[in-house]
Amino acid sequence: MNSDTIIVLCSCPDQENAIRIANHLVENRLAACVNISAQVKSVYRWQGEIETADEYMLFIKTSTSRYDELEMAILSIHPYELPEVVAVPVERGLQNYLGWINQCTNK
């Protein structure tokens, strides 16, 4: 059974920004829950150079109907020039949990 739930991935430069963004999204009902990973090492190409950085990954649980507002909120407060904002559809899951996500993100 398909759901209206997505998981949005967003990397942050430090724990302070990760917590600030997570709190903003949950407080404004743009996300039901945000998990903040332990520090991860990212390797990426930026402006023609290979870069590495220690980052914190956000796993943002939300509904597809809130994605556009969530994206705008991240862009308005994220310190990166080009933040990672990638949505992954949730194909299946515990129906009560998926319902909780949708309930928390209703306007």
Q: Is the pLDDT of residue 18 over 60?
A: yes
Is residue 77 within 8 Å of 88, Cβ to Cβ? no
At what angle are helices 15-27 and 67-77 packed, to 10 degrees? Answer: 140
What's the pLDDT tens digit per position in 31-42?
999 999 999 999
Q: How far is residue 3's CA from residue 20's CA, in Å, rounded to a whole number?
A: 28
Instruction: Dig out the tokens for 85 from the structure.
Output: 């904002």
Q: Is the pLDDT of residue 3 over 90?
A: no
What's the pLDDT tens digit per position in 62-97?
999 999 999 999 999 999 999 999 999 999 999 999
pTM: 0.95
pLDDT-above-90 percentage for the chain: 95
Helix ranges restricted to H, 8-92: 15-27, 67-77
pLDDT for the residue numbered 34: 98
CATH of domain 5-104: 3.30.70.120
| Residue 101 parent element (H or E) | helix 95-104
